[in-house]
Amino acid sequence: MVNYKQQGKNNRRRGQNHEYKTRHHLEEQGYIVARWNNQIDLTTSPPTIIQAKATRFNRGTTGFPDFIALKPTNNPQHPYTIILIECKTNNTLSKIEKLRLNHIQEQLNIPCFISYKLDGDITPHLRQHTHYEPKTPIKTQV
């Protein structure tokens, strides 16, 4: 019999460990990393940034994406490189998460990365989010 309570605790612990490793990996590369505590509300037109809310499953607020990272540059026109990072232990985003990343990249012009882990490798891997086009339902005639 599956102990869902223990499974949830294990999943949360694995996710936190992955976020911790991702943060330190970016800091080693010279980034200044901070938690992102906002959400993007896709129900409004245009989509707006709102404060993330705590749920009964999550005592703290978790924003989307997980981190905002700044890296100093030598260019006086653009003194920082800014990226946003969403951490996933299974390398899979939901449709809503993909649409939120689309909005960030298109409207704010900030590159978004997904941090994922490979089996047997402790180093976090980053891949850039590519534009997601939702599939339209096919209408069938009866």
Question: If you average pLDDT over every residue of the chain, what do you get?
Answer: 81
Region 47-74 average pLDDT: 72
- In this structure, the strands spanning 80-87 and 112-116 are parallel
Rounded CA separation 75/22 (Å)? 26
Q: Which CATH number fits domain 6-128: 3.40.47.10, 3.40.1350.10, 3.10.129.10, 3.30.565.10?
A: 3.40.1350.10
- DSSP class per residue in 62-105: --SSSEEEEEE-S-SSS-EEEEEEEE-SSS---HHHHHHHHHII
Q: What percent of the chain has pLDDT over 70?
A: 78
| Residues counted in the chain | 142
List pLDDT tens digits, range 29-44. 999 888 877 666 767 7
pTM of the predicted model, to two decimals? Answer: 0.76
